[in-house]
Amino acid sequence: MIELRVADVAVREWSEQAGFTADLQRAFGDDAWRNIVPGLPAVIFRCTCRLANAVSAGTILASRQVRRKLVQDWLPVLLVCKDNVSPSNKSLHLELEQTFLRIISTLPMSDAQELLQRCLSFSTRNVEDCPHLVTAFNTWFRRAARPLKPYSLFDQ
C-alpha cells in the first residue's frame, strides 16, 4: 500500500470505522465468536498494527485527527480482547499496545491525557507487566510539567 501511495487513504479509512469498532467490541465481548471465527481478532489486530506502526514510524503521514481517531476507536477493541488473547497472539497484542502509546505520545497534551487514561487497563497487576505504559506516562508527565512558552509574532 505504501508503494502504491494508498496507505494514507487506508489509515484515514481505518480511523473512520467507529461503527465497525463498536460492532467488534460487542462481538468480542461475547464468547460466541470463538466458535464461529476464532482467528478474527488476530487478523483485525494484524491489519491495525501494520497501519498503526507505519503511522508511528512516520512512513505514513497522518494528521492529528486521524492519529487520535485511530487510537480512540481501535483502543476499546484491543481492551475488550485483552482477557481473551491466545498465547500465540500475545506478542501482537503487546505490540499494538506499544504502537498506540507511541502514537499517543505524538498528540497534543489534552488528547494524550484523555487517551492515556483509557490505557490504564493495559496494566494487569504490576509495573513489570507493562513497561511501555510506564514509559508513555513518564513522557506525558515530562511534557505536561514543561511551562508553555507564550508565542509572540515577533519571536522568529
46 lies in a domain?
yes
132 lies in a domain?
yes
124 lies in a domain?
yes
Would you place residue 116 in the very low, low, confident or very high pLDDT band (cuts 50, 70, 90)?
confident
The pLDDT tens digits of the residues spanning 10-59 come to 899 999 999 999 999 888 888 777 777 778 888 999 999 999 999 999 98
156 lies in a domain?
no
Residue 99 CA to residue 137 CA, distance in Å, equals: 14
Domain that holds residue 11: 7-145
* pTM for the model: 0.76
Place of cell 504490576: 126
Q: How many domains does the chain have?
A: 1
104 lies in a domain?
yes
80 lies in a domain?
yes
Give the other-Cβ count within 10 Å of 53's Cβ. Answer: 17
Place of cell 488473547: 85
Could you tell me what percent of the chain has a pLDDT over 70?
76
Residue 53 CA to residue 42 CA, distance in Å, equals: 16
1 lies in a domain?
no
> Residues, the chain, total?
156
150 lies in a domain?
no
Residue 33 CA to residue 101 CA, distance in Å, equals: 28
